[in-house]
Amino acid sequence: ITLVEMVKQGASKRRSVPLATPPFLLNDKTSKNHDFASSFQRVIELLQGRKNIVVLLGAGISVSCGIPDFRSSSGLYATLDTEELNLSCPEDLFDKEFFLQDPSPFYKFARTLYFPLGGDKRVEPSDSHKLLAILEQNKMLLRVYSQNIDGLETVAGVSSKKIVYAHGNLLQASCLKCKRKVSSETILPDIVQGTVPRCQAEIKKANRRNSNTSVDSGCTTRSTRSSSQGPSQRTRKRQRLSCEDQCRGILKPTVTFFGETLSDTVNRTLEADRKKVDALVVIGTSLSVAPISKVIDFFPRDIPRILINRTVVHPPNSIPKGLECAYGDCDGPGFRDKYFFDAYLLGFCDDITRALARRLFKSTSKRSQTDSELQTENKLQAGRLLSAVLESDSDDDTSSEWSNESVPADRVLLFPGALATSLEGTAEIEETEYEEIAYCDSCSELITGDIRKCKNCFDFDLCKTCFPRVSKKHFDGKHTFKLCKRCRWR
């Protein structure tokens, strides 16, 4: 039985339950029954009854599919042969200006992006991706915001209206000349060959007379057919297209490269979702890259926040002390003391999401458990609370490895695969000071002084010069702004 089939059996039996309220405790201080199982059940209760869950995704959700991340010691950047591709640094591969000058290095490497498993085998979505589709099927999903470009959320069955790709995806490609979009299937032959794909759209006659075929158009004239050949006149016309008949613009995957502005879709959708979201789940990301890094502070504070990751995450763009009203809901309850998530589920993403699915959509049938379900149960039984690990009298090094975590230990659930933050990593987190870097959304210049932040919009900042003029026109002056002193915080 698959994860999807198991969920279908239990979904119809779900009963409405009252929503959990802040401070979202995972244990009852008066009860002695405080263990991993009861705490995990509390996590389930945080999600039960929710109808507008927002999920933030990072590279960690796709690792089990065979897709490497970008910046780890074994990631894409670390293993990239820059000399072979004639790159000054790995980041050149996704640099817009470099791509415009010479797209060939990107397409020589592109096969690794489209076929990371080697050969011509396409990557399949994981159970974590499939859980997203299951949440939508059960009317619990408001939106998925993905920082990944692999498009596996779509392949798993999540509808396009429920997904926002913050950095684009590899599912389509667009022509840099005529802006036409095509599916990834269109450019796959070039991806396999390592050649630069060209747009084959027919150009209009008015433009055809005035167009000159460039030297690097990569076009070869095709022989024409007689009118008696082929099934139709339209088909023959397409087959006769020569260089002068085709656009021949470079096709670029719909991925946001360095030097490109992010789509306004991210901001607009976040602003709309802010009014509806009733729970936030973060999977496989350190929340260190904008704009997703700012979402946790933009959403209301009185909703459950759940982290699914191998390590504890400390969002660097958390709210500086004294500036709470500039971020998110000023009237929200400040019940979280020195922690960002109400539950830290640490371990391999697929193990955790399978356990969540099994508990959220528990089947009431009396059938025997499958091997997959038994494995999930065994991993649940092997789980431990961090508080229990720290209180253990065991002589192993496990307790010391986790002793430097700064989040409440009774909110951390350890599954197989959980990793403790190293002593060096912890010191770095505690000593590093973060400074917000903001660009004016009017003049696009770096804001060197105080930042004027719109409290109603996601990531809309103005400099001192533009503020008097733009703030009056911004939503007809109905939005309010907060003056934020430029500062550093830990």
Structural contact between residues 68 and 116, judged by C-beta atoms closer than 8 angstroms: yes
Q: Concatenated DSSP letters for 248-264?
A: -PBEEEEE--BTSPPPH
The full DSSP string for 57-101 is: E-GGGTGGGT---SSSTTSHHHH--TTTTT-SSGGGGGBHHHHHH
474 is catalytic: no
> Residue 405: what are its φ and ψ, rounded to 5°?
-70, 135
**Which residue is catalytic, options 129, 167, 314, 474?**
167
Distance of alpha carbon 353 from alpha carbon 358, whole angstroms:
8
Counts for the chain of helices (H) and strands (E), in that order: 18, 16
Q: How far apart are CA 173 and CA 253, in angstroms?
A: 4
Say how far apart CA 402 and CA 387 lie, in whole Å: 10
Position of tokens 């431990």? 384
Question: In 361-410, which residue ranges form alpha helices assigned H by DSSP?
Answer: 371-382, 386-391, 398-402
Distance CA 148, CA 169 (A): 7
**Cα distance between residue 476 and residue 489, in whole Å:** 34
Q: Are 310 and 282 in contact (CB under 8 A)?
A: no
Say if strands 343-346 and 412-414 run parallel, antiparallel, or are unpaired: parallel
In sign, the C-alpha dihedral spanning 301, 306, 312, 315 is negative
CB 360 within 8 A of CB 44: yes
Give residues with Cβ within 8 angstroms of 380, minimum separation 6.
36, 37, 40, 355
- Point out which residues pair with 57 in neighbouring strands: 146, 283
284 exposed, middle or buried (CB, 10 Å; 0-12, 13-18, 19+)? Answer: buried
Q: Which two tokens stand for residue 451?
A: 């930042």
Report the 10 Å Cβ neighbour count for 176. Answer: 16
CB 342 within 8 A of CB 412: no
Active site residues per annotation = 167
